[in-house]
Amino acid sequence: MAKEYTNELQLDFGRDGKKLIPVVTQDFKTKEVLILAFANEEAFEETRISGYATYYSRSRREIWKKGLTSGDLLKIEEMRINCEQDSLLYLVTPLGKGACHAKRKNGMPHTSCYYRRISDDNRLEFIEE
């Protein structure tokens, strides 16, 4: 049976469990995209067990539970998988002040990591939150 029509979870994290799978994270209520991150098998399992979004940080090369140090945790409401079972969608309730590690001028985190748009002249414009 094709992955598209099975009810069996068949994520492929590779033999060593370290292959990374992209994870789109959306606000459960607003559906705003908050973060695009990655998960290896350990991060995915920690998310399932803890109920909080946990990723693999490619820059730090370690497991990263979003908000553990900042208090801006992302509570999992629902986890979805795409048709090929090679990417995930986490629908979350943000429990802190924002989802992005980047801060606004007032010191508060941005609600989403996607707080700028690209203008016609390839400049970045900040989106009001």
CATH no. for residue 91? 3.10.20.810
| Residue 27 domain flag | yes
With a cut of 50, list the residues of the chain below it in pLDDT: none
How high is the pLDDT of residue 86? 92
| Residue 42 domain flag | yes
How high is the pLDDT of residue 129? 65
User: Total structural domains in the chain?
Assistant: 1
| Residue 88 domain flag | yes
How high is the pLDDT of residue 55? 97
Residue with tokens 């985190």: 109
As a whole number of angstroms, the distance between CA 51 and CA 36 comes to 18
| Residue 13 domain flag | no
Q: Which domain holds residue 68?
A: 19-97
| Residue 8 domain flag | no
How high is the pLDDT of residue 1? 57
Q: Cα–Cα distances in Å, from 119 out to 24, 92, 103, 107?
A: 24, 29, 21, 25
| Residue 107 domain flag | no
How high is the pLDDT of residue 2? 67
As a whole number of angstroms, the distance between CA 34 and CA 24 comes to 8
| Residue 76 domain flag | yes
How high is the pLDDT of residue 44? 97
How high is the pLDDT of residue 39? 97
